[in-house]
Copies of this chain bind each other. A is one copy, B any other.
């Protein structure tokens, strides 16, 4: 019921959540990025019930995020691997992890550090950037109707999109958390 509503919403966040927003799914994606490929390894690493894991993997395969294919070496073992669509999810997971590190665990207690393999240096904070690479704050962007916007979305964005940004900029100095 709730999922149907999300899938029908004309919003890419809602539609993405319809696919990856179920309990466990993002942690299954995390495992896939950590290199987990076998059903029993997902199960062991996550401590997830077989039936839930099975349903979640099935959906990710059906929707093209993972493939399920024979493991290299010719046995009958099957492996789950990220597709290009699945690998493209990497910035979402990293942004979520960094936010959790910074605002929940606390920056000095991050359980995992992500480093560039070649240099060993920690990666940058995932950020919203302008086309030329400058980091942009929420107040510096505006939402405008895209090519897939329906009439309701167009009306809403036309009447509202510019407002929050202006209001936020005006209150910036007074905001108690100042950032």
Judge whether A93 and B179 touch: CB under 8 Å: no
Judge whether A13 and B146 touch: CB under 8 Å: no
Q: How far is the CA of A122 from the CA of B144 in the complex (A)?
A: 10
Residues of B within 8 A of A91 (CB): 91, 95, 98-99, 125-128
Query: Residue A124 contacts which of B27, B85, B98, B130 (CB distance < 8 angstroms)?
Result: B130
Residues of B within 8 A of A160 (CB): 34-35
Judge whether B15 and A143 touch: CB under 8 Å: no
Residues of B within 8 A of A72 (CB): 171
Q: How far is the CA of A88 from the CA of B23 in the complex (A)?
A: 23
A75 at the interface (CB under 8 A from B): no
Q: How far is the CA of A117 from the CA of B141 in the complex (A)?
A: 5
Interface size range on A against B: 35 or more
A50 at the interface (CB under 8 A from B): no
Contact A178/B84 with A131-B124, A142-B114, A148-B109 known, Cβ cut-off 8 Å: yes
Q: How far is the CA of A168 from the CA of B83 in the complex (A)?
A: 11
Nearest-Cβ distance from residue A32 to partner chain B, whole angstroms: 9
Judge whether A112 and B23 touch: CB under 8 Å: no
Judge whether B130 and A35 touch: CB under 8 Å: no
Judge whether A179 and B118 touch: CB under 8 Å: no
Q: Which residue of B lies closest to A32 (CB)?
A: B164
A5 at the interface (CB under 8 A from B): yes
Those of A143-179 within 8 Å (CB) of chain B: 143-150, 153, 156-157, 160-161, 163-165, 167-168, 171, 175-179
